[in-house]
Every structure is written in structure tokens, then in C-alpha cells.
Amino acid sequence: MLPLPPRRFEPVVWQPATVHPDSHVEFDRRLYSVPWRLIGRKVWVRAPEHSVEVYADDARVATHDRRSRGRQSTDDLHLPEGRRDLRHRSEEYWLERADRLGADVGQYVRAVLASDDVLSRLRDVQAIVAHLETFPVTRAQAAARRAHAYGNTSYAAIKRILKDGLDLQPLPNFVSPAHGRITQPRFARTAGELLAKHSEADHESH
């Protein structure tokens, strides 16, 4: 029998990815930066046990620690100079911008941040606030109220509400859930309400 190799076998995962507009690729629910000139390009992610490597045109363009803390791993050198300072802006910065759009927007953005106890929602908040700022304040507030009432905490939800003009429609008469978590079905009725409705129907039939 042949002797065992000096190094144990290390499983490696290969996965295609597209570089996002923020100079990051996504792998295993985390974001890893690559040089900003590759924005929009297709790349390959190679992930052994302890690292994440990104390849473009057969050349390695980025290496990150796979076990680093947080949802995002960013090398400042991968970002254009004008954007390097932006990523260091904290939640407080975006909450301040949200509050400038009104109390409804501020409350909704706080609900977005509180909606996930594991992954940071700052990236979603940045997209939400920046998008709301392109609309009149009244529409931004109405969109935030509707999204909050339905427990929708994604950028896609806000974008769809404004695109479809749903913010211009009145909200149904139900109480919005705290932090986007619904404690009971929105359209559920109590047993008393159902019995009363049933009695009314019997009375009308006679």
C-alpha cells in the first residue's frame, strides 16, 4: 500500500459569481470584495476550508479569510477612492438620513435592522434609504408605512411598492406588526366574530 499523503485532503468548492455594483461577490451568504474594475464581470469563487479566493480570467484577484466575522469582508484597496469612506459609515449615519425623511421612514428602517438577528441588514438599509430619497417625502413616508404594515423588510419590497404606486393606495385597517414580525394572521377573526357573522347570516336567511 502506498503511504498517506503528507497533507490531508481538503475539499474545495468552485462557484461562478457576478461582481455586484458595490464591488463584492456573494458566496455562502457572505460578501467578499474584489477590485472595483471587475464590476459586472463574471468571476469564479474558489473556497477551500479556510479561505475564499476569487479568479477572473484565470488569475486570482482577491483572497479573504472564510471564517472572518460579520456578513461582509472588504479590502479597502478593492474600492475606488471615492467610495472607500462610504463603507465605514455606521448604522447611525443611515438612521439619521432615514429620520430626515420622516418618523415613518425612521421607524421602518429600524424595523429592517431589527428583523434579522444574525445577518447585518445595513446593506439593505443603504439601498432602501437611497431609493426613498429619490421620491417626494410624502411618497417615501407612505411606502415605508405600507412596507412596515405588511412586515416587508426588503429593498425589493420598497422598490415594488413605489414602482406600482401602491403607496398611493389606502392601507387596510389592521395594526402593523412590531419589527416586521406578525404575531397573528392579519385577516384572522376571533371565535366571537365568526359566531356573530354566522348568526347574522341565519337571521337574514329567515
Do 135 and 151 form a contact (C-beta atoms < 8 A)? no
- In this predicted model, what pLDDT tens digit does every residue of 150-198 receive, in sequence order? 999 999 999 999 999 999 999 877 654 444 444 444 444 444 554 554 4
Structural Rg of the chain based on CA atoms: 24
Nearest to 131 by CA among 143, 119, 115: 143
Q: Which three cell numbers stand for residue 11?
A: 475539499
pTM: predicted TM-score of the whole model, two decimal places: 0.47
Give me 59's grid cell: 488569475
- Range list of H helices, the chain: 81-84, 91-100, 103-114, 122-132, 137-149, 155-163, 191-205
CA 82, CA 79: separation in Å to the nearest integer?
8
Cβ atoms of residues 54 and 61 within 8 Å: yes
CA distance 42 to 71: 21
Backbone angles phi, psi at 14, to 5 degrees: -110, 135
pLDDT tens-place string over residues 96-130:
899 999 999 999 999 998 887 535 678 889 889 99
How far apart CA 73 and CA 37 sit, in angstroms, is: 18
Q: What is the pLDDT of residues 39-91, one digit of tens each?
A: 999 999 999 988 999 999 999 999 999 876 667 888 888 988 766 565 556 77
